[in-house]
Structure 1
Amino acid sequence: MPRKTMEAVTSPSPSTTASSDGSQEEEVTTLQTKKRRVTPKEQTEALQSEYEALLRRLQEIQATQHAAKTHKYQRTQTYELLRRGVTESELVIAGAQSILSSRHINPLKAFIHLPADPAERRAYLEAMRPIRKEQAMTFMEERVRFLNLRRPHRQVDACETDEGDYVVTFFDIVPFTDPDVETSVLQVYNHVIDFFLHQEFKVTEHAEMSTLCETDDNIVPGHIAQSRFLSTTSDGVDVEKNAVTFQYCPGQFAPLFSKAMTIRDSVDVDEVYSYKPEQRMRNDITAVTIIWETPPTHPDEKPVIAVVRWASVRMYRPLCGITRDQELSARETTVRWSEALGRSLREATSRLRRIPNNLS
C-alpha cells in the first residue's frame, strides 16, 4: 500500500505578521515627514521676487535723496540770488556814498550877515530863529529815522576839497543808559548850553592851544547868543571862529520837556568882527544838537535821554603863509574838538544821582 508522505505547510505566525506591518508603517511615516525639496525654478522665482522688492526699496531711497538734493539745490540757488541781490544793493549804496563824499555840501548851511547896529543884529537873528528850528528838525528827523537812539553811534567823514578847504562831518548819538544815573532833558540841555557858551575853550587846553573866547549871550537871553573864538596852536597858527547859537529849551517843544535843541551857525559876514584870512585860519561850523527823550520799548524799560549831534566843519585853505605841517596840525585839533562834547556830557551826567526828571 503506498505510503503517504506528510508535508508541513508553513503559515506565518501572528508575531511575524505584526512585525512586518510595523516596518511598513515606519517607512510610510518616514516618507511622509521628509521635507519636500525646492526645485531650482522655485528658487529662481523666490530670488527674483526678493530682488524686485529690494529694487523697489532702492528706488524709493533714491527718489527721497533726489528730492532732498533738489531742495538743497533750490535753497542754494535762492541763497545765491539773495546774496547777489545784497551785493548789488551794497554796491549801489557804496556808489551813493561816493557821490555824497565828493559833493562837500552842507545841507543846513545858512548865510548870515550881521550888521553893525545892535538892534538890527538882534532883529535879523530873531527872524532867523524859527526858520532854522524847522529846517534843523526836518533834517535831523530824517537823519535818525532808521537808527536806535538807545545805542551809541558815531560817524566821521573828513576830506580835502578841490579848493584846498578841509571839511569834516560828524554825526553821533550819546545815550545815557546808566541805571545809577537819572537825568532829564532839561539837565542835559543846560549842560550843552554851558559847554557851548562857557566851556568850549577848555577843549583847546587839551590840544595845547591858547584860546580867547568872547561871548554875547544878551542878544536874546535864553534864545540867541554869539561866540567868537581866537585860538593859537602849539605851532603858532592862529585860528578864528565866529558863530551864533540858537537855543530851543524843552518848554518850546510838545510834549513838555521831551525834547530840546541848539543850533550853531557860522557868521559869514560880521560888520563888527571881520575875518582876517591873511592873519588867521578861518573855521566855519554848522551844528545841530538835539536832546531826545526816547520812550521805552518794553514794559520793564525806562525812558532814555539821548544826545544826537550832527555837525559840518569847514577849515578854509590858509592864506596866512603857514606850512603844510602847521595846517595838518590845525586840522587834527578840529577832529579832537568833535569828541569833546560827548566826553563832557558823560562826565557831567555821571555826577548826577537820582535827580527827579521834573526839575525845571
Structure 2
Amino acid sequence: MAVREQKLRNAYDFLMAPGRFVDPEKPHTSDQRYETADGDICSVHLEAMHFPGVDSLEQVWEALLFHYNTIEIGITERLGHMTVRDDYDTIDGSVYNTRVLSRSDNCIPVESSIVTFSHLFTEEDEGFGGQACGILALDSVDKDELYPYFPSKRVRLDTSGAIVLTVSRRSVQVSNQTERSGDKAAGQSDNKRDLVVTLRRAAFLNLYNPQFPVSEATRQELQAGIGRWGDVLMKTIRSYVYSKP
C-alpha cells in the first residue's frame, strides 16, 4: 500500500502546486497535443471545474467513482463507441487494475490498461493541509502478462493522470423579491454561503501510432478523439450531482 500512498501524494502535490492554474477559483481548461518521432499522438490536459450548490464533497466523490466503475457504459452511451471493461485485480477496494477495450466511430479497436488509486481523506487525515479532499490517481500499465497488448490488431492508448476534489464555501447573491410592508424592498440581494466542490484534473495521454494499415481519415479521427473519454467523465459527474430525483 506504500505505492498507493505515494501515488496519491504525487497527484495532490502536482495539482495543488502554486501556479498550476492561473486562478483556481475560476474554470480553467488547457490542452496541448503533439506528435512524436514514432508517430504517436500525445496530449497534456489541465482542467479546473466547479460544482456549486452540491450537497457535499462526498456526493461529487461518489459521482467520480461511479464514472470509473461504469466507464464502459458511459463511453458506449455518450460516444456511441462499443466498449467493454475488465476489472481483473483489486486491493482493498481502492486500487484497481482495469482493461478497457473500445471501438471508434470507424470501428478501429482501441485498448487501454490502467491502475487506479483512490481515497477520500477527512479533515483528521494528516498531510493534506487539514482539509477534506478526494484524490484519484491513474497510471498506465506498460506490460501485462495476463492480458498483453496486441499492437497488430488494436491501437494502444496509455492514460496517466490525477484528480483532486476540494470543498469550500463562497458567497452568492440571492435576490429577495418580497414586497410586503416592513420587509426588504423587492429586488434587494442577500448574501448566502454556497457549498462548492472544485475538481482539478490533469491527464497525460499517449495514443500509439497504429501498427496496422488505417486510412488517413481514420488516423485523423483517432487523433481528434484522444480526449473524448475525459469529456465523458465531466458529463457523467454533472449528470450525477445535478440530476433531479
Give the TM-score taking structure 1 as reference length. Answer: 0.57
Larger strand proportion of the pair: 2
- What is the rounded CA distance, in whole Å, between the counterparts of 2:104 and 2:96 in structure 1? 26
Name the aligned partner's letter for residue 165 of structure 2: I
Could you say which residue in structure 1 is the equivalent of 2:71? 199
Deviation of 1:171 after TM superposition, in Å, equals 1.1
Could you say which residue in structure 2 is the equivalent of 1:317? 209
- What is the rounded CA distance, in whole Å, between the counterparts of 2:49 and 2:104 in structure 1? 29
SS of alignment partner, residue 167 of structure 2: strand
- What is the rounded CA distance, in whole Å, between the counterparts of 1:146 and 1:267 in structure 2? 28
Name the aligned partner's letter for residue 245 of structure 1: T
Aligned equivalent of 1:305, options 178, 184, 197: 197
Closer, same or farther in 2 for the Cα pair 1:205/1:303, shift >3 Å?
closer
Structure 1 vs Structure 2 CA RMSD: 2.5
Aligned equivalent of 2:12, options 137, 151, 164: 137
Closer, same or farther in 2 for the Cα pair 1:201/1:287, shift >3 Å?
farther
Closer, same or farther in 2 for the Cα pair 1:145/1:321, shift >3 Å?
closer
Give the TM-score taking structure 2 as reference length. Answer: 0.81
Structure 1 position 269 matched with structure 2 position 143: yes
Deviation of 1:308 after TM superposition, in Å, equals 0.9
Closer, same or farther in 2 for the Cα pair 1:149/1:241, shift >3 Å?
same
**Aligned residue runs from structure 1 range 205-216, under 5 A:** 205-216=77-88
Aligned equivalent of 2:94, options 223, 238, 247: 223
Structure 1 position 184 matched with structure 2 position 76: no
Could you say which residue in structure 1 is the equivalent of 2:132? 258
- What is the rounded CA distance, in whole Å, between the counterparts of 2:61 and 2:84 in structure 1? 24
Give structure 1 stretches of 5+ with no counterpart. Answer: 1-125, 354-360
Name the aligned partner's letter for residue 129 of structure 1: R
Structure 1 position 340 matched with structure 2 position 215: no
Q: Deviations over 1:109-157 (max 9, x none)?
A: xxxxxxxxxxxxxxxxx34211112222221111655543332111111
- What is the rounded CA distance, in whole Å, between the counterparts of 1:158 and 1:204 in structure 2? 25
Larger helix proportion of the pair: 1
Closer, same or farther in 2 for the Cα pair 1:191/1:200, shift >3 Å?
farther
Name the aligned partner's letter for residue 274 of structure 1: P
Closer, same or farther in 2 for the Cα pair 1:171/1:292, shift >3 Å?
same
Structure with the greater relative contact order (CA < 8 A, sep ≥ 6): 1 or 2?
2
**Aligned residue runs from structure 1 range 326-337, under 5 A:** 326-337=218-229
Could you say which residue in structure 1 is the equivalent of 2:158? 284
Closer, same or farther in 2 for the Cα pair 1:239/1:338, shift >3 Å?
same
**Aligned residue runs from structure 1 range 55-74, under 5 A:** none
**Aligned residue runs from structure 1 range 39-188, under 5 A:** 126-142=1-17, 147-177=22-52, 181-188=53-60
Q: Are the counterparts in 1 of residues 11 and 163 from structure 2 also a CA contact under 8 Å? A: no
Deviation of 1:316 after TM superposition, in Å, equals 0.7
Deviation of 1:284 after TM superposition, in Å, equals 0.2
Name the aligned partner's letter for residue 263 of structure 1: A
SS of alignment partner, residue 225 of structure 2: helix
State the percentage of identical aligned residues: 22
Could you say which residue in structure 2 is the equivalent of 1:248? 119
Q: Are the counterparts in 2 of residues 230 and 238 from structure 1 also a CA contact under 8 Å? A: yes
Deviation of 1:206 after TM superposition, in Å, equals 3.2
Q: Are the counterparts in 1 of residues 83 and 101 from structure 2 also a CA contact under 8 Å? A: yes
Deviation of 1:245 after TM superposition, in Å, equals 0.5
Name the aligned partner's letter for residue 246 of structure 1: F
